[in-house]
Each structure stands twice: as C-alpha cells, then as structure tokens.
Structure 1
Amino acid sequence: MADTLSQLYLGAGLTVLSHPLMYVKVLIQVGHEPLAPSMGRNIFGRPVLQLPGLFAYAKHIVKIDGKRGLFKGLTSRLCAGAMGTVVHSKVLQSYRNMKNSECSELGKNDPSSLYHVFEETTREMIARSTATLVTHPFHVITLRCMIQFIGRETKYSGIFSSVVTIYREEGILGFLAGLIPRLLGDVISLWLCNLLAYFINTYILEPPSQVSQIGELRSYSQAITGFLASMLTYPFVLVSNLMAVNNCGLVGGLPPYAAVYSSWIDCWRQLSREGNMSRGNSLFFRKAPAGRMYALDQKRFV
C-alpha cells in the first residue's frame, strides 16, 4: 500500500511538471501551427526554415490564455494517472499471488533466462494494457480539452460534463477512440525494449566478472532500448491521439482544419502518404516541410 501511495504522489508530481510539454506536443500532433516559420540553422550550421519550438509555442499559449492555459486537461490526466497506477499495481499483485500458489519453478531461479524475460514481459503487458483500457476515457477527455485551444471552444470543460457529452454524441465507443493503436504501440514498445535489452546484455556485453564496467553498461541498456523502442513506435502514439479527437465536434478534429478518418488504419495511411508519421516527435529544431501551409490568426502562410 505504501509503495502504491508513493507511486501515486510521484506520478502526480511528474504529470503536473510535464503537462505543458504534452499540451504543446498534442497541438503540434494535430497540425496546429499558429506561428509563422522563421529562418534558423540546423545542427550543421546550415540555414533552414524552422517552425517554433517548445518554448516559443508555450509562450504563445501563455500570451493568449495565461500561465493557467498551459494546464488544460490536467484534471482528467491526473485522474487517469492515479487510476492507472492503482490498476497496474493490483494486476501485478494478483499475478504474484497466482504465481506463488503454483508449483512450477521453471525459470524462476534464473532471472537472466529468456523464459524469465518472456514471463516478466507478459505480466507487465497484461498490467499495462488493463490500466490503459480502464483509463483511456480520461485520456480522450484530456486530448479534447487540449485541442479546444484551436477553436477557442469550451465544449469539454469538466470531467463529468465531458463524459455526458461523449456518451450523448458518440455512445460507449466514443470513450474508446484511438484505443487500438495506443494498445498496439504500448505492447510493441514493451516487447522491443525488453527483448533488445536481453539480447544486448546476453550476447553483446560480457559478464560483469570479466569486465569491471560492464555492470554499469547493463544498467543503461534498458534506458537506451526503451528510448529506441519509443522512437520506433511513435507513429502509434500519433495515430492514437489523432483518432481520439477525430470528428469529435471540435474545430481541431473537423474539416477543413483536419481530415476525417474512417479508421485508424486510414489515418495511418494518410499520414504516411503525407510524410507526417513523425509529426510532433521533436519539439526542437523543427524543420518546416517545403510547400506546406501554416495558419496564423486565420491567415495562411506558405
């Protein structure tokens, strides 16, 4: 219980601190570019046309809505985080209780075995997926609260009223918008991360007894593989967020501002054709695609 409470407090603190970053990221993901591109230089010193980065974008939001404006959707996100932590912990505890009652000891005494990696990854996958399924409605509300910035709407102003609005307009399925690509991305990322870390530690790095610094390198392998896995599965995150706000009655999710997708696969295909599968992945050094249009106070800039 104490561990769960500490996780709740830590998670809430990190959520509050990271919320402005997520807010800017979501607005960029849906294609909202309220500031005109400017000339800058890339990492090689060459002049390029760049879109505003995180700080310039955040400053623009503060100019319009004040500092509190950077925290739109925070309440529903905190609810999702707290509920997800509890569900995740309960599922893992149930799994441990179930395993303790079994007689099989296969792989239990060898945490470095591939069997152990599969067992632990499967357990974590079930826990994460269950938590995601339970908290996804709050995630949908969070995203819709955020993109209201685009059209200056107030349709989603609270958790309860947002729940009523979604149910009235879209039914139960409205709460699951974007769930499938989100689950797929989480599962693929988890397996890639754990399997890559296992193979690196087992077949690339020598045992710690032979090389003194290998133990330290092993501690970084999980973080490195996690970063790589998140980069590879980013398109799932993008598609999931776009589908969560797609055709939801807000300016940011309707034509002519945004396309209406028939399914998440249709969204994936269109983004792929446009070369936008990494949109929002970087919040700095954002090169402006040639020939694209950018909105600035209802005007258009090429």
Structure 2
Amino acid sequence: MAADAYSARLRDSRRHRPGGPGAPAVTSMDLDAATLVLGAGVTVLTHPLLYVKLLIQVGHEPQPPIMGTNLFGRKVLYLPGFFSYARYIIKVDGKKGLFRGLTPRLVSSAISTVVRSRARQVIPLSDMEHVSNKDDIKTTLNKVVTETSHEMVVQCVSWVLIHPFHVISVRCMAQFVGREVKYSGLFGSIVRIYKEEGLMGFFVGLVPHLMGEVIFLWCCNLLAHLINTYAVDDNFTHAPAVRSYTRFVMGMAVSLLTYPFLVVTDLMAINNCGLIAGNPPNFPVFKSWIHCWRHLSAKGHLFRGSSFFFRRVPMETAKFTVE
C-alpha cells in the first residue's frame, strides 16, 4: 500500500511538472524503478519484524517469561517482546542473522511490482482512477465491485507467482529453531524443494494464502465504501479527512480477522519438510491446511504471533511455571 501511494504521488508529479513545459516528464520506467527501490527498502526494514513473527508463530520461545503487572496491578507472566527476541537472535547469529531469508522476499517484492505495473498497462489507470471509493464518495456499489474485482485478479496472479519465494523465505527463517542449513540460498533451495517435493512443493499453503488475501481485500473495500457513504456525514467539517483514512483503519481491523490464514500458510510452508520447526513433536504432519487450522484452533494458537508486545503466557503454561 505504501508503494502504491508513492506511485500515485509520482503520477501526479508527471501531470504537473514544476519545471514548466521544458522540464523532463516522469516516464513509466521511472515510476517502476522508483517503486522497485521503495518496495525493496520497505522489505528490508520490515524483515526483522516478520522474522520474529514467524518464530513466534511456530512456537519457538527460547527465552523464559518474565513477571510483570497488568493494568489492574495483578502479577502476570509475559513472554519477551520483539526487542528482546531480536536481541536474542543477534546474540546467536549476529546482526546479519536478523535478515535470514531476506533474498526471497526481495525477489517477491520485485515480481509483485512488475506484475502490478503490467496490469496497469493492460487496464489504463485513467479508466480506474475515477471509480475509486476513496476519490469519489458517490461511487456506486457496482463500480466498487468492479474495481475490487480488477484488483483481486491482479493480486491473485501476483500471489501465485511469488508464493514459491514465500515458501523458501519461511523455511530459511524457520531453520533458526533447529540450527539447520538445509535451505542455504535461493537457487540451492529451489533445486532442493524441486528434487524432494516436486513442483507442488513450491505451492504448499497457497490456498489459505489466497483465501486470506481475497477476504481481506473485499472486506476492506466494501466496508470502507459503506462507512464513507452511510456513516460519514457530508456536513461534517473534516469528512474528507476521515474518509481518506477509512480504508487504512478498516485494513487494520480486517487484518486481525484474516490473521489465522497467515499463520496456517506459514506453518504449511514448513510442515513435513525436514525442519525441526515443522515436524513432530512440534507439529504433527498435516493432511491439509484445514487439518492445520483445526489443530491450531483446538490449542488456541490461531492468533499466535499477532502481537509483538505484552505477550501473556497461556494460562495453562503460566500455572505450570508458577508451580
């Protein structure tokens, strides 16, 4: 979303060149290059967060919980937050260890940018900009559905193409648990997965990935449109500002709803692939992603890793630790 916003600003600068008629125009290639650079930068900056999140998702807790107090003054056991976990990774692997599995994510970012750019060329932006519920609050529901359908197709194609690199990245990061070196590089990982699992090995966990992203997209767009149309009064002074942030707020809310799909996707990517993190006794060999979902749901782990701070120890574990 940040990359798309940056592209929009670049398009505006192309239409209104500050240097006058003689100033050079911003070309489509310039936009793609800028988006690639921005996307790579965001990927690098956020990778440690996603790395820690993944290790929490697989249940790897190498540090003991600490005693703290909640808002009511009661003593509560908390698991280490992001910064404590990151310091532990640095202690074990050094600062470079925080970027384990980064290369496949950079490739994914680049592929996603290229796919979106090509889609914009097939369906010109001028045809789509005027049907955005963020720009025109009077947009009909049919136009919102049309825009969302277009976006869904583009993103589904992108997700299918980048999912193999997501699988590689997740497996590279999960090796931290068992200190394996099975997936040591991008090309080496591709060869290993193909030899051991065939072509389908690159697409394990794809179904929950697509389902989560599609549900997220439709819920965000439709809820934002309905709220902007029926809940925000045109007579309100700051109505335009409120409407501009509606989709962002809806995205944060809906991301909590679809988070279990992300957990299942990541666990399916490492399940039964020879890594300690994804094999018994940590996890059973799942027959399908539905089996994985049911297993996590029964243990109350569908939202594990959704928070980086104030992670309370589960009640059963807390009682055992105190005793």
Q: TM-score, normalised by structure 2?
A: 0.85
Corresponding residue number in structure 1 for 2:113: 85
- C-alpha change, 1:110 and 1:283, in structure 2 (3 Å) is closer
Per-residue deviation, 1:44:
4.0
Per-residue deviation, 1:99:
6.5
The answer on 1:240 being equivalent to 2:240 is no
Corresponding residue number in structure 2 for 1:19: 47
What does 1:119-268 align with in structure 2 at a 5 Å threshold? 119-207=146-234, 210-268=235-293
User: The residue matched to 1:257 in structure 2 has which SS?
Assistant: coil
User: The residue matched to 1:248 in structure 2 has which SS?
Assistant: coil
Q: Deviations over 1:4-29 (max 9, x none)?
A: 21111111001101111110000000
Give the Cα–Cα distance (whole angstroms) in 2 for the partners of residues 227 and 214 of structure 1.
20
Give the Cα–Cα distance (whole angstroms) in 2 for the partners of residues 203 and 18 of structure 1.
36
What does 1:90-129 align with in structure 2 at a 5 Å threshold? 90-96=118-124, 112-129=139-156
Amino acid at match of 2:162: T
Per-residue deviation, 1:176:
0.1
Give the Cα–Cα distance (whole angstroms) in 1 for the partners of residues 322 and 63 of structure 2.
10
Structure 2, unaligned stretches of length 5 or more? 1-28
RMSD: 2.2
Per-residue deviation, 1:291:
2.4
Is contact 1:23–1:70 with CA below 8 Å preserved after alignment? yes
Give the Cα–Cα distance (whole angstroms) in 1 for the partners of residues 107 and 46 of structure 2.
15
Q: Deviations over 1:211-265 (max 9, x none)?
A: 2111111111111101111111000011001101111111111111222211000
Match of 1:286 among 291, 311, 321: 311
Give the Cα–Cα distance (whole angstroms) in 1 for the partners of residues 260 and 59 of structure 2.
14
Is contact 1:92–1:123 with CA below 8 Å preserved after alignment? no
User: The residue matched to 2:68 in structure 1 has which SS?
Assistant: strand
Structure 1, unaligned stretches of length 5 or more? 294-299
Give the Cα–Cα distance (whole angstroms) in 1 for the partners of residues 126 and 249 of structure 2.
32
Corresponding residue number in structure 1 for 2:8: none
Give the Cα–Cα distance (whole angstroms) in 2 for the partners of residues 18 and 159 of structure 1.
20
Is contact 1:235–1:278 with CA below 8 Å preserved after alignment? yes
What does 1:25-104 align with in structure 2 at a 5 Å threshold? 25-96=53-124
- Which structure exhibits the higher relative contact order, with contacts defined as CA atoms closer than 8 Å and separated by 6 or more residues? 1
Give the Cα–Cα distance (whole angstroms) in 1 for the partners of residues 151 and 78 of structure 2.
40
Amino acid at match of 2:30: A
Give the Cα–Cα distance (whole angstroms) in 2 for the partners of residues 292 and 93 of structure 1.
54
Amino acid at match of 2:68: G
The count of residues paired between Structure 1 and Structure 2 equals 288
User: The residue matched to 2:283 in structure 1 has which SS?
Assistant: coil
Q: Deviations over 1:12-61 (max 9, x none)?
A: 00110111111000000011111111111234443211111100101110
Give the Cα–Cα distance (whole angstroms) in 1 for the partners of residues 277 and 306 of structure 2.
19
Identity of aligned residues (%): 51
